[in-house]
Amino acid sequence: MNPLHAYRHRELPLVELVLAAVQLGAGIPSAGDERVRAEVDERTVRYYQSTGLVDRPGRYEGRTAIYGYRHLLQVLATKALQGAGYSLAQVQSSLAGVVTPDLEAAVARALGEEVGPVVPPEPAPRALVQFEVAPGLWLTVDPAIHPDPTALVVALSPHIKRSTP
Same domain, 17 and 55: yes
Alpha helix segments (H runs only) across 84-148:
88-95, 100-110
Q: Categorize the per-residue pLDDT at 67 as very low, low, confident or very high, splitting at 50, 70 and 90.
A: very high
Query: pTM score > 0.85 for this model?
Result: no
Range of the domain at 146: 129-163
Name the domain count of the chain.
Answer: 2
Residue 89 forms part of a structural domain: yes
Same domain, 25 and 76: yes
Residue 79 forms part of a structural domain: yes
Beta bridge partners of 50: none
Rounded CA-CA distance 44/22 in Å is 12
Same domain, 106 and 137: no
* Residue 60: alpha-carbon gap to chain centroid: 16
Q: What Cα–Cα distance (Å) separates residue 142 from each residue in 46, 155, 165?
A: 40, 16, 27
Q: Say which DSSP state 38 is in.
A: S
Residue 122 forms part of a structural domain: no
Same domain, 39 and 68: yes
Residue 10 forms part of a structural domain: yes
**Could you report the per-residue pLDDT of 71-120, keeping only the tens digit for each?**
999 999 999 898 888 888 899 988 988 999 999 988 988 888 876 655 55
Residue 56, phi-psi category: left (phi > 0), alpha (psi -120 to 50), beta (remainder): beta
Q: Categorize the per-residue pLDDT at 41 as very low, low, confident or very high, splitting at 50, 70 and 90.
A: very high
Same domain, 80 and 157: no
Query: Which one-letter amino acid corresponds to residue 56?
Result: R
Same domain, 139 and 74: no
Residue 21 forms part of a structural domain: yes
| Surface-to-core class of residue 11, CB atoms within 10 Å of its CB (0-12 exposed, 13-18 middle, 19+ buried) | middle
CATH at residue 14: 1.10.1660.10
Same domain, 148 and 85: no
Q: Categorize the per-residue pLDDT at 137 as very low, low, confident or very high, splitting at 50, 70 and 90.
A: confident
Same domain, 46 and 10: yes
Same domain, 28 and 93: yes
Alpha helix segments (H runs only) across 26-148:
42-50, 69-83, 88-95, 100-110
